Amino acid sequence: KNEVEQSPQNLTAQEGEFITINCSYSVGISALHWLQQHPGGGIVSLFMLSSGKKKHGRLIATINIQEKHSSLHITASHPRDSAVYICAASGGGADGLTFGKGTHLIIQP
Amino acid sequence: NAGVTQTPKFRVLKTGQSMTLLCAQDMNHEYMYWYRQDPGMGLRLIHYSVGEGTTAKGEVPDGYNVSRLKKQNFLLGLESAAPSQTSVYFCASGTGYGANVLTFGAGSRLTVL
């Protein structure tokens, strides 16, 4: 069973700061997912990546397959980025994803 | 497009009562999943389905049953609710091909007294 660990668990930053959230997993995967969950809200998929780097707006996700590590970066952070960010590993099997516990991010104005 | 719709959004039950959560998707996805989310823990898989008429157990299946009679619907049942089943339940669906991007419902908050 894959173990997915995220750090930090909680992060508070000022508006405009560069944010990094880390994710490590224990066994090989077919893809790594980053998801976002706003307070009281649903869960939205941000990225799925199996190698290299992906960028969408101010969000950048990277993965190092050899190191079994992925990072999610937010540039020029904004209060609306405040949410829980969840990392999840896909083994490619039918049973879906193995989830980390999430990183609770608060961006203060 | 509605995507994935869960009903009800909120429910309070007494211990021993039964209920059914409904998940409906309009994306023609083969794969559907039920997860529970508890404080301090990652999402945990309860049951899943890889197509109409199929179901399989996930990580935490005890106390739950599921059915997938129609491709677009995945039902999660609690036969005799227990306080340990107080949680937020998420349904998700996906194509199931390769690395599977999931679409999630908005969640159903269940409290068992």
Q: Which residues of A touch B99 (CB under 8 A)?
A: 30-31, 48, 50, 90, 92
Strand partners, A85: A36, A103
Separation in Å, CA of B5 to nearest CA in chain A: 11
- The per-residue pLDDT for A62 is 97
Optimal mutation site among A5, A10, A99, A104, interface B, most CBs of chain B within 10 A: A99
Specify burial of residue B3 (Cβ count, 10 A radius: 0-12, 13-18, 19+): middle
- The per-residue pLDDT for B97 is 61
Q: Which two tokens stand for residue A85?
A: 């960010």
Average pLDDT by consecutive 10-residue portion of chain B (113 residues)? 90 97 96 94 93 94 96 96 97 77 93 97
Q: What separation in angstroms does the CA of A15 have from each of A59, A78, A107, B83, B104?
A: 15, 5, 6, 40, 29
Q: From first to last of the 109 residues of chain A, give the pLDDT tens digit.
A: 778 999 999 999 999 999 999 999 988 888 899 999 998 778 999 999 989 999 999 999 999 999 999 999 999 999 999 999 999 998 767 777 899 999 999 999 9
- The per-residue pLDDT for B107 is 95
- The per-residue pLDDT for A109 is 96
| Cβ contact, residue pair A96, B106, below 8 Å | no
- The per-residue pLDDT for B99 is 56
Encode A64-103: b = buried (16+ Cβ within 10 Å), e = exposed: eeeebebbbbbeebeeebbbbbbbbbbbeebbbbbbbbbb
- The per-residue pLDDT for B92 is 94
Q: Which residues of B touch A94 (CB under 8 A)?
A: 31, 48, 50, 56, 96
- The per-residue pLDDT for A76 is 97
| Cβ contact, residue pair B58, A50, below 8 Å | no
- The per-residue pLDDT for B57 is 94
CA-based torsion, A80, A64, B98, A92: positive or negative: negative
- Whole-angstrom Cα distance, residue A104 to residue A34? 13
The beta-carbon neighbor of A99 closest among B31, B42, B100 is B42
- Whole-angstrom Cα distance, residue B16 to residue A28? 42
- The per-residue pLDDT for B98 is 55
- The per-residue pLDDT for B70 is 96
Residue B2 gets which letter from DSSP?
Answer: -
- The per-residue pLDDT for B1 is 61
Separation in Å, CA of B25 to nearest CA in chain A: 15
Q: Which residues of A touch B96 (CB under 8 A)?
A: 94
3-state SS assignment for residue B85:
helix
- Reported as a single tens digit per residue, the pLDDT across B79-99 is 999 999 999 999 999 887 655
**Contacts of residue A63, Cβ cutoff 8 Å, sequence gap at least 6:** A32, A49, A50, A51, A52, A53, A69, A70
* Whether A63 contacts chain B with CB within 8 A: no
| Cβ contact B6:B13 at 8 Å | no
